[in-house]
Structure 1
């Protein structure tokens, strides 16, 4: 009995030899294995890696899209111009369609717009032809005034500096006549290409104005049923923003052109009408277009009217910029485009780097449409 009691185990804590489970070395080996398989990666690093490869995929996709679009430059520009024409002419077409068949409404609107644009261009050409002789005399005398101005305080340049510059420009043109001629010929080929793109744009705009809604509905119905509402919301947001931006920019450009025309007429600067048209076209490029056009007007004023008038024209850059930035853009574009000026500046710079002047023209509407579509889909999503 004594021996039996000695061999019996008390209930309680088990002996060390009877313990189950991995020992400390086995647990360390398992930890190293899970670290190598990525199961113990910190959550922040895992999230950053997920965003990184998604951003890389988006960057590659954007690069491929830009490459493809650059190869298809003519049809892409034609479709863009067709959308611009449609956004501008859609309200008068809808108004005329209340009393006329839609085909006749489209025809009358296009013919009237063509007559209006052609009349403006003919008036500009006539003005340049009439004032060119007088402008040549004024420029000839203007070089003398500029020479006297540069030779005085605070520049103190030697007399004849402006005349030397003019003679050097003439010598350069004479020495590089063949290169300039080839450049002009290549520019003529480019002009033919632009005319072809314009004809294609008008052709597409006719169908967009006549049956654009049916074309969009047909395209949406080719998609899977569950994705149609998403594409419908995206299309509505895109068109609302694009049309609002196009009409707003044209209103802003026309207002700037009228203000500049009044100021130049008061200051008696020659070639007022061509400079007004230049201001209108240049304002279509946000932030930088209007100052460039006014700088050209200041050069004309410097040659024709002297440095005081040129400085007054340069002052217009500040005045027009303040009116455009603090009055016209918030009133005209604020309801359709809500992009920070920094984003606009970066968009224009990026578009100019990628596509030159055309890239600068289309950069802001493209970014505006993309932002509007993103906001519409985000607000309509279940998580938004």
Structure 2
């Protein structure tokens, strides 16, 4: 090397610890590098897949008990505001009992007032569907719709076969909870009893459940459960309002057009609205089909416009305003979830798929967010660089002593709210 050339830096000398040994740089990866990390990730994926399979098998085996409990959870989310309002004037169990009595009176009264008419309308609609389809095919053959009958013959035949072969599908899915009327009654009673106790004593039930977890996981689990409960409440209330608005809007349009079976259309629209996206397409298409078969092309186009307007109001006004960001699911994920739930559990799975996905999504996002007790030491480091003890904080009873319904306390960083059914003693 000549004197004019600058000296090139040599390799860095490893740092020595007080004992004189060479310290391993912190950024150095373990032996194996990327291969080891890939193998570890692969085993994690396999473990998650196996856990999911076991969960599905257990859920299917426990369906006669699990489904009524989940229905009770949904009813609790729907009725908890009423119970919370009544608890201001009476004990929790009395408020829960009065809420349940009012709910049952509403259901029984509505069924008694309109059950016969709705049942007759549904029966007449099902019986007349072949005639309606025949009238639609006749209009197609006449060239009114601009297509030939050969183009839709196969579709009409398949639809008629589906109607013939699946006429009792709803009843079969309802009776899937058991093989007799006694098992169905047992499932209904279990759902109502679950709702009653969740409304009356949901906070204590949750505290007992959270107490089974390791102490260092309770605060994070408590927060995740609270946010999941908030998302579930937002979902079930929004779906109830959306179902009512859809049924009223489409029902009024059908009534103004003079369509038959208006009561049956309203009932079908309301019930299918609890199956997101798929239910709206099915019920709206059925209303348009009835208009086409009974009135004509003009009325069918008007009915289609009514359905589209109602669904646009639902998608762009009701859903964002009522639900907000509490349930943040992409439409593609909703479609896949509903299809998967329907494949695994039939109609029950289609109804429960979206709330289950909303809960999983909320819990996952909450679990990734650091707790205030984990972030505080980094902000309150002492002058000599010693962090505050991250393990310090409220004791075990304080961390699990308040719950929000069956979902735990309010989200971290917010004031804890009085839970539905919390023991006030």
CA separation of 1:137 and 1:211: change in aligned 2, threshold 3 A = closer
1:250 matched to 2:236? The reply is no
Matches within 5 A, 1:255-294: 255-294=245-284
CA contact (8 A) 1:142 1:305 kept: no
CA separation of 1:326 and 1:45: change in aligned 2, threshold 3 A = farther
Q: Secondary structure at the match of 2:369?
A: helix
- Equivalent position of 1:19 in the other structure: none
1:318 matched to 2:308? The reply is yes
1:68 matched to 2:58? The reply is yes
Q: CA deviation at 1:222?
A: 3.3
CA contact (8 A) 1:294 1:317 kept: yes
CA contact (8 A) 1:294 1:316 kept: no
Q: Which runs of 5+ in 2 are unaligned?
A: 1-28, 379-425
State the alpha-carbon separation in 2 of the partners of residues 184 and 254 from structure 1: 23
Moved more, 309-318 or 212-221: 309-318
Q: Secondary structure at the match of 2:55?
A: helix
Aligned pair partner of 1:372 in 362, 376, 385: 362
State the alpha-carbon separation in 2 of the partners of residues 123 and 289 from structure 1: 25
CA contact (8 A) 2:238 2:323 kept: yes
Moved more, 148-157 or 273-282: 148-157
Instruction: From the CA coordinates, give the structure whose radius of gyration is larger.
Output: 1
CA contact (8 A) 1:141 1:304 kept: no
State the alpha-carbon separation in 1 of the partners of residues 167 and 138 from structure 2: 32
CA separation of 1:94 and 1:60: change in aligned 2, threshold 3 A = same
State the alpha-carbon separation in 2 of the partners of residues 320 and 125 from structure 1: 25
1:296 matched to 2:305? The reply is no
State the alpha-carbon separation in 2 of the partners of residues 278 and 201 from structure 1: 23
- Equivalent position of 1:198 in the other structure: 188
CA contact (8 A) 2:272 2:280 kept: yes
Q: CA deviation at 1:371?
A: 1.4
1:104 matched to 2:104? The reply is no
CA separation of 1:212 and 1:134: change in aligned 2, threshold 3 A = closer
**Number of aligned residues:** 333
Q: CA deviation at 1:288?
A: 0.9
Q: CA deviation at 1:185?
A: 8.9
1:89 matched to 2:93? The reply is no
- Equivalent position of 1:12 in the other structure: none
CA distances 1:290-325 after superposition (whole Å, capped 9, x unpaired): 110122222332333233323332334433332222
- Equivalent position of 2:199 in the other structure: 209
CA separation of 1:251 and 1:139: change in aligned 2, threshold 3 A = closer
Moved more, 188-197 or 88-97: 188-197
Q: CA deviation at 1:343?
A: 2.0
CA contact (8 A) 1:256 1:280 kept: yes
- Equivalent position of 2:418 in the other structure: none
Q: CA deviation at 1:379?
A: 0.9
CA contact (8 A) 1:267 1:309 kept: yes
- Equivalent position of 2:140 in the other structure: 150
- Equivalent position of 2:320 in the other structure: 330
CA contact (8 A) 1:138 1:303 kept: no
- Equivalent position of 1:230 in the other structure: 220
Moved more, 355-364 or 127-136: 127-136
CA separation of 1:55 and 1:108: change in aligned 2, threshold 3 A = same
Aligned pair partner of 2:210 in 216, 220, 243: 220
CA distances 1:236-277 after superposition (whole Å, capped 9, x unpaired): 122111122111211121121121122111111122222112
Q: Work out which structure has the larger RCO, using CA pairs closer than 8 Å and 6 or more positions apart in sequence.
A: 2
CA contact (8 A) 1:347 1:367 kept: yes
Q: Which runs of 5+ in 1 are unaligned?
A: 1-37
